[in-house]
């Protein structure tokens, strides 16, 4: 027996609202691992709520195929929920994730009002994946997690009616 919804989340719009909430938390503190976890796990599932794989597998595959940022988000989200970076299947875009330390233990960033020299959550893209290799040729091999989250939100905002 299927019972629609969990804790009142029943629609793509409802899950999108949660993704927005998680994004605001993450944007407020881009070094918050818990907020990053919540955001990436939620955001990677929004396309599936719009196009459930049991009814729209072709459309869902195309959504991810056409958007490298969603594929990276899915890889991070799948990895974080399993507490390990897994390679294989659709998860082949991310080589590793890191927390880069801030300058002088973040002391320099504090001296500049928190705007410079702060540690970051960083995603290192896999150069062996042809799609990320194309992306890294023009954008570099790393992306700050908060920057990825921002790009993913821009895509999801266009997708969710």
Domain parsing of the chain, residue ranges:
12-159
Mean pLDDT check: name the lowest of 41-55, 60-74, 80-94: 80-94
35-57 average pLDDT score:
91
Predicted local distance difference test score (pLDDT) of residue 133: 82
CA dihedral (64, 70, 66, 16) positive or negative: positive
The 10s digit of each residue's pLDDT in 47-72 is: 999 988 878 888 988 998 889 999 99
The 10s digit of each residue's pLDDT in 118-149 is: 678 999 998 888 888 888 888 888 899 999 99
For residue 70, give Cα distances in angstroms to 14, 74, 108: 19, 6, 34
């Amino acid at each position: 027996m299927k019972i629609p919804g969990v804790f009142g989340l029943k629609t793509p719009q409802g899950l999108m609202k949660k993704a927005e909430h998680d994004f605001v938390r993450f944007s407020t503190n881009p070094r918050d691992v818990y907020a990053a976890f919540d955001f990436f796990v939620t955001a990677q599932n929004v396309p599936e709520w719009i196009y459930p794989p049991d009814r729209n597998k072709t459309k869902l595959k195309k959504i991810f195929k056409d958007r490298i940022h969603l594929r990276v988000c899915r890889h991070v989200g799948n990895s974080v929920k399993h507490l390990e970076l897994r390679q294989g299947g659709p998860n082949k875009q991310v080589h590793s994730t890191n927390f880069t330390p801030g300058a002088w233990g973040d002391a320099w960033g504090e001296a500049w009002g928190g705007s410079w020299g702060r540690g970051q959550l960083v995603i290192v893209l896999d150069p062996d994946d042809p799609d990320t290799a194309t992306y890294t040729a023009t954008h570099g091999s790393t992306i700050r997690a908060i920057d990825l989250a921002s790009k993913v939100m821009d895509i999801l905002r266009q997708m969710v009616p």
